[in-house]
Amino acid sequence: MNPMDAQVALIDQLFDAGLLIETGVDGLYGRSGQFEDVISRFDALITSFGREDKAEVIRFPPGMNRAHFEKSGYLKSFPQLAGTVHCFCGDDGAHADLLQCLGEGKDWSAKQEMSDVVLTPAACYPLYPMAAKRGALPEHGRLFDLMSYCFRHEPSRDPARMQMFRMREYVRMGTQAEVLAFRETWLQRGRELISMLELPFEVDVANDPFFGRAGRMMKNSQRDQGLKFELLVPVNSTVSPTACLSFNYHQDHFGQTWGLKTAAGEVAHTACVGFGMERVALALFRHHGVDVQAWPRSLRRVLWG
């Protein structure tokens, strides 16, 4: 079987089992109750690993302030992934034109204008401006617990590469030493967590998909500096396993961008650990089968108690 066949096979298995529901757009799926139950049990397991840290819980909607998005630098690095929200802003005449275009199967986007909302590309993006607005960090910094649906324009038949998916994150803000210690802790916890799910994995240095020619240099420098690690599980292919967790050290990038300071008045450093909720659920179905009742008893105990 070539890798392409394997992709089709996994996604078709998931459709056939009713775990994912087709919408006609690659990367955009409905989820069954069973699929959501696995996601919520995994979510609870993450919470149990992080409980003692007493993170501040915040849930943002899956859209963010466009001005914050523009200032974040996302378009500089990942223009190919971004999704913006456009809305009809015309009068009766423009409405008639819209309906005519629609009826004739023509482009109806003429009176669509960019709104103040863009789709959230990663759960932590709306957080930094909000945190900076509170003023300097308290002593020992801050820790947040986030989860959001995220959008990335990367349509694929690989079920693990969705256009809309959930990302749970812990985000640490503080001194360099504090945020690096946080990342080390979660690198260890992540290994324990995925071991408890009885999944094969490896941890490796990684890079973000920076766009274009300038992006190549950024990819290399990110790897050389060890800024991003991923915990990879074979989901769609054993040759190129899927990043299910990622551990990112942003240095003072967001601190600089948002004017976020430590208690001592230095530019704050930040780091985040991201959990791909659907990817972990898919890894479980891929390795333990589409029938949850047939999963190993030990695993069922971990998830459902």
Residues that bind Zn ion (CB under 5 A): 122, 124, 169, 272
Q: What is the DSSP secondary-structure string of 214-266?
A: HHHHHHHHHHHTT-EEEEEE-SS-SSS-EEEEEEEE-TTHHHHHHT-B-TTSS
> Which of 122/243 has CB closer to Zn ion?
122
- What is the closest distance, in whole angstroms, from the C-beta atom of residue 95 to ligand ATP in the complex? 35
The least distance separating ligand ATP from the CB of residue 194, rounded to whole angstroms, comes to 11
Contact 46, 275 (CB under 8 A): yes
Question: CA–CA separation, 147 vs 241, rounded Å?
Answer: 24
Per-residue contact flags (x/-) with ligand ATP for residues 85 to 124, judged by CB under 6 A: -------------------------------------x--
Nearer to ligand ATP, 137 or 233 (CB): 233
Antiparallel, parallel or unpaired: β 228-233 and 242-249: antiparallel
Report if residue 39 touches ligand ATP, rule: CB under 6 A: no
| Measured distance CA(62)–CA(166) in Å, rounded | 9
What SS3 class is residue 99?
A: helix
Among the candidate windows 6-14, 131-139, 179-187, 238-246, which touches ligand ATP by CB under 6 A?
238-246
Position 250 contacts ligand ATP (CB under 6 A): no
Stretch that binds ligand ATP, among 6-14, 55-63, 67-75, 154-162 (CB under 6 A): 154-162
Using CB under 6 A, which of 276, 285, 295, 303 touches ligand ATP?
276
Query: Which of 181, 207, 72, 76 is CA-nearest to residue 127?
Result: 72
Which of 39, 245, 260, 268 is close enough to bind ligand ATP by CB under 6 A?
Answer: 245
Chain centroid offset of residue 286 CA: 20
111-146 burial code (b ≥16 CB/10 A, e <16): beeeeebbbbbbbbbbbbbebbeeeebeeebbbbbb
Structure tokens at 70: 């523009």
- Segment near ligand ATP (CB under 6 A); pick from 18-26, 97-105, 126-134, 240-248: 240-248
Nearest-5° Cα angle at 144, 138 to 145:
160
Q: Which is nearer to ligand ATP, 137 or 152 (CB)?
A: 152
Quick one: 124 or 232, whose CB is closer to Zn ion?
124
Nearer to Zn ion, 124 or 193 (CB): 124
**Helical axes 33-50 vs 277-288, angle rounded to 10°:** 110
Instruction: Choose from Zn ion, ligand ATP, none: what does 46 bind? Cβ within 5-8 Å by kind.
Output: none
Q: Tell me the closest approach of the beta carbon of residue 231 to ligand ATP, in angstroms.
A: 8
CB of 228 to Zn ion, least distance (A): 10
From the list ligand ATP, Zn ion, none, partner contacted by residue 161 (C-beta under 5 to 8 A by kind): ligand ATP
Paired with 171 in beta bridges are: 144, 272
Phi and psi, residue 106, nearest 5° = -95, 170
Q: Which DSSP category does 190 fall into?
A: H
Q: Least distance to ligand ATP from the beta carbon of 121, Å? A: 8
User: CB under 5 to 8 A by kind: which of ligand ATP, Zn ion, none does 272 bind?
Assistant: Zn ion
CB 272 → Zn ion: shortest distance, Å? 3
Contact residues for ligand ATP (CB under 6 A)? Answer: 122, 152, 154, 160-162, 165, 167, 208, 243-246, 274, 276, 278-279
